């Protein structure tokens, strides 16, 4: 199994890491990226780890940060639709394919 990061989800990820870098430095930004990578690795081995959430998509809550990975599973691929903050712009990602 592999994964694909939606171009807008890549922007979400970059913006979140940049936020942490500006607020607390490179170490926290790198910790955020490492947490993202850890979350993706869990999903690659256990794609149904999260229950269906909205519009049939799944939501995986990151452990150490207030973010979730919104994703679909298609064939043998996890498609990450958004790296969504828990309290900012809820549902902004719903129109992404």
Q: What is the pLDDT along the chain (97 residues), one digit of tens a residue?
A: 899 999 999 999 999 999 999 999 999 999 999 999 999 999 999 998 888 877 789 999 999 999 999 999 988 899 999 999 988 777 667 778 7
Model pLDDT, residue 48: 86
Model pLDDT, residue 77: 93
Model pLDDT, residue 92: 67
Residue 1: name the closest of 60, 48, 43, 61 by CA: 43
Model pLDDT, residue 85: 93
Going along the chain from its start, the domains and CATH numbers come out as 2-85 (3.30.2310.20)
Model pLDDT, residue 97: 76
Model pLDDT, residue 89: 75
Q: Pairing between strand 67-74 and 58-61?
A: antiparallel
């Amino acid at each position: 199994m592999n994964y694909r990061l939606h171009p807008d989800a890549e922007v979400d990820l970059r913006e979140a890491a940049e936020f942490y870098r500006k607020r607390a430095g490179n170490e926290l930004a790198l910790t955020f990226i490492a947490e993202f990578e850890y979350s993706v690795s869990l999903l690659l081995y256990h794609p149904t780890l999260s229950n269906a959430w909205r519009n049939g998509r799944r939501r995986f809550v990151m452990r150490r940060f207030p973010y979730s990975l919104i994703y679909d599973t298609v064939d043998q691929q996890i498609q990450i639709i958004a790296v969504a903050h828990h309290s900012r712009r809820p549902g902004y990602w719903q129109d992404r394919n």
